[in-house]
Chains A and B, each alone.
Chain A
Amino acid sequence: MKSFWLFNLPRHRYAKTGYWFVLPYVVFFGGFVAYPLIFSFILLFHRWNIVTPMEWIGLKNFERLLNDPLFFKAILNTLKFLLIHIPLQMIIALGIAVLLNSKLKFRGFFRAVFFLPVVVSGVVVTILWQQLYAFDSGLLNRMLTAVGFGRVPWLIDPDMAMLSIALMATWKNVGIYIILFLVGLQDVPRELYESASIDGATRARQFFRITLPMLRPTFVVVVVLSTIGGFSLFVEPYVLTGGGPMESTLSAVLYIYNQAFYFNHMGYAATLGFVFALIILGVVLLQRKVIETEPTT
């Protein structure tokens, strides 16, 4: 049918339709991606408070960035967040996924409950955890004192605050990763386990020799998504701590926000955004490379 000459319409008719179909996106791309990118590049070399004219300052924004303790603090805080968040999330998500993947009643119910915090707004989760983390009257500290432990300064201690945020973020997001691991687990061919059992491999050995290596693509996704999430933290520190105590929860996006909308330093804020974006891309590429090539056993 396709090659029947009568219906073989000239190509250019379809070509025109193609252009019409993509035109809205091309306009959108020009306005909201290409223009901002170019403008971001211009801003890198200017000082600007939006009201008065832009002022060319050459590489001063970069010079300032390299001497800005808060910039490095924000990176350090993000790394601290990821150091807790990624392993915790992987262990919990994989553990629950393995349980959910076994023979089970109420699987749908459990899956739905673990996924609930994912769909609820980060604002809700943050307001809720603010009550849980409160030092004197918070639920967690009341529980701890009730069983004879001391109070934990969840959000008050600068060494702890970021860890507390990482714990909360894990609680909120782990549902996504449970689902991703479940999909990954279901993709492992059953024959692999069967032949391993015949060869006398124990369940634990099967898990480390078959399951974990087969899940490598899922691990890549989890690590990459968590990293992007860590560099995108905003609402959590904004509501919970305002970046404190002692800037210990200042995140990359919160710092950009403060520079732009609190101090009106548009040029410097754009520079921060640019550099953070480069760092994110660099870290993600590096992670992909490491996890995809390194043998896990």
Chain B
Amino acid sequence: MKAIAKYAALGLGAVVFAYPFLWMIASSLKPEAEIGGFGLWSPHFTLFNYEQVIERIPLGRAFLNSIIVSLSATVSVVVFGSMVGYALARLQFIGRGTLYAIVVFTMTLPFQITLIPQYILMVKLGITDTYLALVAPTLMTAFSIILFRQFFLYVPQALIDAARIDGCSELRILFRVIWPLSRPVVITVSLLTFMSSWNEVLWPLIVVRNRSLMTMPQLVTLFTIGGEAESLLGLQLAAATLLALPIIITYSFFQRYFIESMASAGIKG
């Protein structure tokens, strides 16, 4: 009896969280007049909404822009973040404590305070409407440095010493000896960075006005609130589905990593 109640509650919850997405995908394939219904099935499934969206806005280009921006942010955050994390955890140099304090300070700093001055910096450097402006403020994150440092603190010193005796440079030690041991933290940082970069809307809205440089969420946002969708629900839902699909597909493959990443990040953060 108790077990039934438990499964019923969880099942209801699963419907509440999953059904809206299924409804969104199904409705995006229906003709406009049928979208109001609760059901998923329609005898008139059509790709009309998708054809219209792709005709009206350069979604393919936006997809490419998003990939370029998110991948460069991720690679940079992982490479530089692990270098700084390694230095803070395992290398001796003057000012190490101060630098760590600075990183922690940066992490607690609310972004509201640097938002406007960062935009002004982009204007002064003359790089608004470029890829550089889209990625620049996210090339390194205090958060990733702290996660890497935390993890690297527990790598056995004997391994590092052995590599040094073999004449490895510190860069080689980091990428050839320590990285292979640090898969969980590398995956965590990569997934979280990629996801937050892919889903970011505010910063692109601020620094990019040129349509051919817009990221996917930005373009979809402007499409929905601007006049282009002509308040046609089907078109908005099709655009939203196209925006959601890449992440949903990635998520279905790496679901466990996503959840574990979020758990470990939330606890340390």
Complex Cα gap A47–B61 (Å): 38
Residues from chain A with Cβ under 8 Å of B161 in the complex: 1-2, 7
User: At the interface, yes or no: A291 with Cβ under 8 Å from chain B?
Assistant: no
Residues from chain B with Cβ under 8 Å of A137 in the complex: 36
In contact, A21 and B91 (Cβ under 8 angstroms): yes
Residues from chain B with Cβ under 8 Å of A40 in the complex: 113-114, 116-117
DSSP class of B's interface residues: helix, strand, loop or mixed?
Answer: helix
Tell me the residues in window 99-122 of chain A with beta carbons closer than 8 Å to chain B beta carbons: 99-100, 102, 104, 108-122
Known contacts A7-B165, A15-B92, A25-B145; decide if A104 and B118 are in contact (CB<8 Å). Answer: no
Nearest to A117 among chain B residues (CB) is: B17
Known contacts A2-B161, A9-B164, A180-B267; decide if A273 and B112 are in contact (CB<8 Å). Answer: yes
18 new A-B contacts at CB < 8 Å, known A1-B165, A119-B251, A128-B20: A1-B158, A11-B92, A14-B170, A15-B91, A22-B99, A25-B99, A25-B103, A28-B140, A36-B117, A99-B10, A113-B18, A121-B243, A121-B244, A128-B240, A221-B267, A266-B116, A276-B110, A277-B109
Residues from chain B with Cβ under 8 Å of A130 in the complex: 224, 236
Question: Can you list 12 pairs linking A and B with CB atoms under 8 Å apart?
Answer: A1-B161, A14-B93, A17-B87, A18-B92, A39-B121, A40-B114, A116-B251, A119-B258, A131-B233, A131-B237, A180-B267, A273-B114
Tell me which of A102, A110, A129, A171 has the highest count of chain B C-beta atoms within 10 A of its own C-beta: A110
In contact, A256 and B116 (Cβ under 8 angstroms): yes
In contact, A33 and B244 (Cβ under 8 angstroms): no
Residues from chain A with Cβ under 8 Å of B205 in the complex: 257
In contact, B24 and A128 (Cβ under 8 angstroms): yes
In contact, B217 and A121 (Cβ under 8 angstroms): yes
User: At the interface, yes or no: A19 with Cβ under 8 Å from chain B?
Assistant: yes
Residues from chain B with Cβ under 8 Å of A256 in the complex: 112, 115-116
Which listed residue, A32, A114, A121, A274, touches B199 by the CB 8 Å rule?
A: A121
Residues from chain A with Cβ under 8 Å of B45 in the complex: none
Contact segment of A64-72, A82-90, A233-241: A233-241
Complex Cα gap A278–B201 (Å): 24
Complex Cα gap A33–B142 (Å): 11
Contact segment of B52-60, B78-86, B178-186: B78-86
Residues from chain B with Cβ under 8 Å of A112 in the complex: 255, 259
In contact, B120 and A114 (Cβ under 8 angstroms): no
- B243-266 interface mask toward A, CB cutoff 8 Å, 1 = contact, 0 = none? 110011001000110110011001
Residues from chain B with Cβ under 8 Å of A120 in the complex: 21, 199, 244, 247-248
In contact, B113 and A176 (Cβ under 8 angstroms): no
Residues from chain B with Cβ under 8 Å of A39 in the complex: 117, 120-121
In contact, A32 and B94 (Cβ under 8 angstroms): no
Residues from chain A with Cβ under 8 Å of B83 in the complex: 21-22, 24
Residues from chain B with Cβ under 8 Å of A166 in the complex: none
Tell me which of A109, A121, A122, A130 has the highest count of chain B C-beta atoms within 10 A of its own C-beta: A121
User: Separation in Å of the A96 CB from the closest CB of chain B?
Assistant: 6
Residues of B bordering A, CB below 8 Å = 6, 9-10, 13-14, 16-18, 20-21, 23-24, 27, 35-36, 38, 80, 83-84, 86-88, 91-94, 96, 99, 102-103, 106, 108-121, 123, 136-137, 139-140, 145, 157-158, 161-162, 164-165, 169-170, 195, 198-199, 201-202, 205-206, 217, 220-221, 224-225, 233, 236-237, 239-241, 243-244, 247-248, 251, 255-256, 258-259, 262-263, 266-267, 269
Complex Cα gap A63–B65 (Å): 42
In contact, A21 and B136 (Cβ under 8 angstroms): no
User: At the interface, yes or no: A35 with Cβ under 8 Å from chain B?
Assistant: yes
Chain A residues with a Cβ closer than 8 Å to the other chain, count: 93
Complex Cα gap A104–B13 (Å): 15
Nearest to A50 among chain B residues (CB) is: B123
Contact segment of A190-198, A204-212, A224-232: A224-232
In contact, B236 and A127 (Cβ under 8 angstroms): yes
Which listed residue, B20, B117, B165, B269, touches A270 by the CB 8 Å rule?
A: B117
Residues from chain A with Cβ under 8 Å of B36 in the complex: 137, 139, 142
Residues from chain B with Cβ under 8 Å of A179 in the complex: 259, 262-263, 266
In contact, A139 and B221 (Cβ under 8 angstroms): no
Tell me the residues in window 29-65 of chain A with beta carbons closer than 8 Å to chain B beta carbons: 29, 31-33, 35-37, 39-40, 43, 50
Residues from chain A with Cβ under 8 Å of B93 in the complex: 14-16, 18-19, 22
User: At the interface, yes or no: A253 with Cβ under 8 Å from chain B?
Assistant: yes
Residues from chain A with Cβ under 8 Å of B266 in the complex: 176, 179-180, 221, 225
In contact, A43 and B116 (Cβ under 8 angstroms): yes
Known contacts A21-B91, A35-B117, A238-B225; decide if A110 and B206 are in contact (CB<8 Å). Answer: no
Tell me which of A119, A256, A273 has the highest count of chain B C-beta atoms within 10 A of its own C-beta: A119
User: Separation in Å of the A125 CB from the closest CB of chain B?
Assistant: 9
Complex Cα gap A179–B260 (Å): 8
